[in-house]
Amino acid sequence: MAIHVELDPELEAHLAAEAQVRGLALEGYAQRLLQEAVASSPGRRSRASQEEFREFLDALASRAPNVPALRSSTFSRETIYGEHD
């Protein structure tokens, strides 16, 4: 399917520059942007599984230089609430 879109010169120049930086043709870069926008729309998001979420957090922590390693027993109901029930 082909879609014709009129861009103002400033937007076209910006997109062309971004496409060039990424080594893509303007049309290919525009198609990628549209695909990413559709994929990230709220109606299409699925919830990550617990394992996927943990993997995400591990990857995030591995990129942060000063994050201490914590034992799984560091946080428990008792350590948070103490003697309060």
pLDDT tens for 42-63 read 665 567 788 888 888 888 877 7
Q: Are 38 and 44 in contact (CB under 8 A)?
A: yes
Say how far apart CA 77 and CA 17 lie, in whole Å. 53
Query: Has residue 32 been placed in a domain?
Result: yes
Please write the tens of the pLDDT for every residue from 1-52.
888 888 899 999 999 999 999 999 999 999 999 988 887 776 655 677 888 8
pLDDT for residue 78: 77
Query: Has residue 50 been placed in a domain?
Result: no
Query: Has residue 27 been placed in a domain?
Result: yes
Query: Has residue 20 been placed in a domain?
Result: yes
Say how far apart CA 6 and CA 30 lie, in whole Å. 12
- The two tokens of residue 59 are 């990857």
**Number of domains within the chain:** 1
Query: Has residue 2 been placed in a domain?
Result: no
Give me the domain span that covers residue 28.
9-41
Say how far apart CA 18 and CA 29 lie, in whole Å. 8
Ramachandran assignment for 82, one of left (phi > 0), alpha (psi -120 to 50 degrees), beta (any other): left
